Amino acid sequence: MVFAPNFYTDKGVASVLPKRKSGIFAWCQIDSERETEKRFISSSVSKEMLAIQQLTMDWLGFDIIQKNEHLGNIYLSAPNPYFREIDISLSTNPTGIFYKILERENGFEPLKFRIIDTHGDAIAFDKTFEIEKSIDIIKLPHEPHLFELRVYDQSDDLITVKEPATFVKTWQFNLSVKQADLHVKVAAEKGAKDIIIEKFSSENSSVIGKPKEFNSEYYFRNADNKRQYIDLEQRKDFIFFPGAKDEKEKSKLKEKAKMDVRDILNHAKDTCYICDPYFGSLDIIEYAFHIQDSGVKINILNSKEYISKEEAREIVTIIKSYNSTPFSKIEVRTLRGDSILHDRFIVTDKNVWFIGSSFNEFGNRATCIARVPESSDVIIIKEIEKWYKQEEYSQSIFAYAEENENG
């Protein structure tokens, strides 16, 4: 693998490798059986884990326990053997780029530079140049916007890559000056508490360099970005429901919201969780019944705090009727005590959406539905399964309904 000069990311192999001005070559062997990880990483913190954690923080600068996918792998890295660094700057007269190669002790060797210049989403220029001097100017037909430099040796082997970059032409400085302190006294358990809030005033910004010029590719890209909400809504990644005052408009919004939620629920192929402290009998009919795949197991989590005795019995009646069909069963559990659940969630297999209002409120007031990023959905599913499966958090709606009848 070839890594760019000073390339750093908090993800992947590059996050654990050293940074070099010349870039690095890296070879890796991954412990595909994960034997080392299985031996040292466990759910409980052990002495070995603490020791490994401290060693890697002291000597490598990162915590291997938080990046345990690298534990047990072998990485070998070497700096670029051809040069120590390549400096690049913009040339406006003539138009092009000025480069300077800082040589190693064994002297300069001829190289090849491939320059790829991108304007917006299209490649505007792609050409390879023979480099026979350590300092020179490469003339280009226009000023580069976002260019990538790939460096090859005379055998056409890639030896380093400079990540796509652009030249800074303008600096803008914004200055804020402290104006005053706002003192507020608030009541607290142990008497009044004095809170000090600093207030600042904004001064005129200063611009150094060329003023911002019209940029055609960004003009079109920005126009597309303004319409990105359409793509997000179509993918069900983010949907905004504005709410309405007019009853006719409100009815249309409620129907649209209902259809959008049903579409999301129908992503499920194996298991679905619907989590809403207010989720009642009518919601089960409106949403759970509309899951089209008859094999999906439907788990509903509501809250005893908001489900009345009469409503609990109505839910039992409805799910008994549904569960007498040959489809997968609907199971409802209700959270005990003060509801731990505030936001509403939909889980379809391993995908999670959160909802800003109860299912029966869509269209009445402004709210949103958003898909949870993949990196966070595992945490949410783990919590939901804990609330759902552990008796200390929730109980079956059947037990709750009988408890109410006996009470």
CB atoms within 10 A of CB 230: 9
The CB-side HSE value for 304 (13 A sphere, CA atoms) comes to 17
Q: Specify the pLDDT at position 277.
A: 93
Is residue 371 predicted with pLDDT exceeding 80?
yes
Residues 288 and 179 in one domain: no
Q: Specify the pLDDT at position 217.
A: 64
Residues 348 and 247 in one domain: yes
Residue 227 falls inside a structural domain: no
Residue 17 falls inside a structural domain: no
The model's pLDDT over 190-235, given as tens digits with 9 standing for 90+, comes to 778 888 888 888 877 777 777 666 666 667 777 777 888 888 999 9
Write down the mean pLDDT value for the chain: 87
Task: Provide the CATH number for the domain around residue 135.
Answer: 2.60.40
The full DSSP string for 38-80 is HHH--SS--HHHHHHHHHHHHHTSS-TTTTGGGTT-EEEEEE-
The span from the first CA to the last CA of the chain, in angstroms, equals 69
Is residue 88 predicted with pLDDT exceeding 70?
yes
Q: How far apart are CA 366 and CA 384, in angstroms?
A: 26
Residues 146 and 277 in one domain: no
Q: Is 288 in contact with 274 (CB distance < 8 Å)?
A: yes
Residue 226 falls inside a structural domain: no
Nearest Cα to Cα of residue 140 among 110, 98, 112: 98
Residues 164 and 189 in one domain: no
Residues 296 and 182 in one domain: no
Residues 372 and 401 in one domain: yes
- The structure tokens listed for 336 are 């005990």
Percent of the chain with pLDDT over 90: 40
Residue 391 falls inside a structural domain: yes
The model's pLDDT over 159-178, given as tens digits with 9 standing for 90+, comes to 888 888 888 777 777 888 88
Predicted TM-score (pTM) of the model is: 0.64
Residues 196 and 164 in one domain: no
- Which residues on neighbouring strands pair with residue 199, listed in sequence order? 180
Nearest Cα to Cα of residue 110 among 126, 131, 129: 131
pLDDT bin (cut points 50, 70, 90) of residue 396 is very high
CB atoms within 10 A of CB 5: 20
Residue 366 falls inside a structural domain: yes
Is residue 14 predicted with pLDDT exceeding 60?
yes
Return the minimum-mean-pLDDT range out of 65-69, 268-272, 357-361: 357-361
Residues 392 and 325 in one domain: yes
Residue 62 falls inside a structural domain: no
Rg for the chain, CA atoms, rounded: 30
Higher per-residue confidence, 103 vs 406:
103
Is residue 375 predicted with pLDDT exceeding 50?
yes
- Which residues on neighbouring strands pair with residue 193, listed in sequence order? 186
Q: How far is CA 273 from the centre of its chain?
A: 22
Nearest Cα to Cα of residue 298 among 311, 285, 306, 289: 289
Q: How far apart are CA 274 and CA 69, in angstroms?
A: 33
How many structural domains are present in the chain? 3
Q: How far apart are CA 337 and CA 354, in angstroms?
A: 22
Mean pLDDT (whole number) for 26-43: 86
Q: Specify the pLDDT at position 304.
A: 92
Residues 163 and 202 in one domain: no
Q: Specify the pLDDT at position 8.
A: 67
Q: How far apart are CA 359 and CA 367, in angstroms?
A: 11
- The structure tokens listed for 82 are 């051809």
Q: Name the residue range of residue 198's domain.
A: 172-206
